[in-house]
Amino acid sequence: MLYGCTLGNGEFTFIAGTISYLLEQCVYSVIDHSSLSDCTMQCLLDEYNNCSRFVFESDTQRCMLQSDYISSDVPTTTIDTAQAIMFFEAHVDCIAGYDFDRHTKLCINEFGDSTTWLDARARCKQDGGDLISIPSLEKWRFVFNYLEAFPGGHWIGLNNSVWMTGEPFKNALGIPNNLLDVNVTSDATCGRLRFRGLDQHKCYEMNPCSEKKKFVCEIQII
């Protein structure tokens, strides 16, 4: 589903997301008695540019703006999944199956089939991208929220403590990891991001590259 509207001299198009999960934890503003066009404008014209995407509930005409960059003070929102659709801003360089994040300027796709790290990277390359690198806090916030919908572990673009962008891994975000764990085997050089523990926190892990896992691809828009 595509929805386009004109704002000033530019045309902005929002498209239904590829994931079925609606990321309720990211809702920071609920607008009742809205319309799809109004919801689009509310997201685009957000005063502080917080809006990352939105959910529109057709039966109740509710607009729910979402953000990866501010803490929500909205009470837990129950979304009617049968009537609601999450919309991401569309981008001409995002191929089918990818969602575009308007703040980090990347297209992202979660692949649920398990494969080795090398085969996963080859699949991403086939799409014109790579396994996702997460060197910045801004990018981490988006990826964390997006993958909250997909429990388990995913291959990411980290190998021998170097991101596929060429940047060295620095744990400036304080994310739990085993990159310095002496018990990690010497062939465990490929990175994955997974839930760990009862609190379901994300963590980085280095695993043997021959193991088969789900993976996340990105296409970075310059």
The secondary structure of 92-107 as a DSSP string is TTSPTT-EEETTTTEE
Identify any residues that bridge with 15 across adjacent strands, giving them in sequence order: 2, 88
Element (H, E) at 137: helix 137-147
Residues 154 and 81 in one domain: no
Last residue of a domain, one of 57, 89, 121: 89
Give per-residue burial for 184-221: e unless 16+ CB within 10 Å, then b. Answer: eeeebbbbbbbbeeeeeebebbbbebebebbbbbbbbe
- Return the pLDDT at 201: 61
Residue ranges, the chain, pLDDT below 70: 1-12, 75-77, 171-186, 195-202
Q: pLDDT by residue (tens digit) across 25-76? A: 889 999 999 999 899 999 988 878 889 999 999 999 999 999 998 877 776 6
Whether residue 104 lies inside any domain: the answer is: no
Whether residue 73 lies inside any domain: the answer is: yes
Last residue of a domain, one of 29, 54, 89: 89
> For residue 56, what are the domain limits?
2-89
Helix (H, G, I), strand (E, B) or coil at 145: helix
Whether residue 103 lies inside any domain: the answer is: no
- Return the pLDDT at 181: 47
Residues 64 and 118 in one domain: no
What CATH number corresponds to the domain at position 150?
3.10.100.10
Residues 136 and 203 in one domain: yes
What CATH number corresponds to the domain at position 81?
3.50.4
Residues 121 and 184 in one domain: yes
- Return the pLDDT at 69: 85
Identify any residues that bridge with 112 across adjacent strands, giving them in sequence order: none
CB 12 within 8 A of CB 89: yes
Contacts for 118 with CB less than 8 Å, ≥ 6 apart: 209
Residues 57 and 128 in one domain: no
- Return the pLDDT at 66: 94
Residues 20 and 60 in one domain: yes
